Amino acid sequence: DTGVSQNPRHKITKRGQNVTFRCDPISEHNRLYWYRQTLGQGPEFLTYFQNEAQLEKSRLLSDRFSAERPKGSFSTLEIQRTEQGDSAMYLCASSRRGPNNEQFFGPGTRLTVL
Amino acid sequence: AQRVTQPEKLLSVFKGAPVELKCNYSYSGSPELFWYVQYSRQRLQLLLRHISRESIKGFTADLNKGETSFHLKKPFAQEEDSAMYYCALTGLRDSNYQLIWGAGTKLIIKP
């Protein structure tokens, strides 16, 4: 499968713990996006990378959230001191450079904070 | 404010009937509009975009700038069309092309 992959697919953690998710984009895509989706809602933009540079962060992204894409390939999203409100599906997408190229989505990581 | 509104959480129609999924948007610049679909146990995937002006799986959508709408239509629904449908937009001049999403409409096609 050469699509976007995300690991783990599911994560259950206790409040206050740190969690880290990984996204592997399609190899030739230099743009990478993180979104969060809660039940009954559409995805919400969190952050965006072009190659290794993080170019945009949503105001939704509190300072407990950090994302990296160190070599311009895979990306990690870390949430520190998780809260119950962080429970959601975390989606990663990638696209080619250029105007309005299609974003290809991964299967998501479902986080449950107890 | 930039916003996408899908007024129907759920739409249920019989097989063979016409389908219209509504999408209204608010955007200060020039938007590009998309419809994404998520079939059961599958990932989000692009269905169509207004710039392409194409019909995919029998679905079409026309951008109406006067009414700020981008409704998705299909003349004869099929059972395999049952899925979640999301309308989304991005700014044609935005530098990051982040997508702004509606809440989605669950489409159920009854046999």
Give the full edge-to-edge strand order of the sheet including B19-21.
B19-21, B72-74, B60-61
Closest CA to A51 of A33, A67, A68, A73: A73
Distance CA A104, CA A100 (A): 12
CB pair distance less than 8 Å for A108 and B101: no
What's the pLDDT tens digit per position in B8-63? 999 999 999 999 999 999 988 888 899 999 999 999 999 998 878 788 899 999 89
Q: What's residue A33's pLDDT?
A: 94
Residue A64, both tokens? 């407990």
Q: For residue A45, which phi and psi values (nearest 5 degrees)?
A: -65, 135
What's the pLDDT tens digit per position in A54-64? 988 888 788 99
The arithmetic mean of pLDDT across residues A8-27, rounded, is 97
CB pair distance less than 8 Å for A41 and B4: no
**What is the pLDDT confidence band of residue A99, given thresholds at 50, 70 and 90?**
low
CA distance B98 to chain A (A): 7
Distance CA B72, CA A49 (A): 31
Q: What's residue A59's pLDDT?
A: 83
B86 touches chain A (CB under 8 A): yes
State yes or no: pLDDT of A76 exceeds 60: yes
B33 touches chain A (CB under 8 A): no
Q: Are B22 and B86 in contact (CB under 8 A)?
A: no
Distance CA A85, CA A49 (A): 25
Closest CA to A78 of B105, A69, A53, B72: A69
Q: Are A52 and A74 in contact (CB under 8 A)?
A: no
Distance in Å from the first CA to the final CA of chain A:
33
B96 touches chain A (CB under 8 A): yes
- CB count within 10 Å of CB A17 equals 13
- Spatial neighbors of B12 by CB under 8 A, at least 6 apart, are B107, B108, B109, B110
B95 touches chain A (CB under 8 A): yes
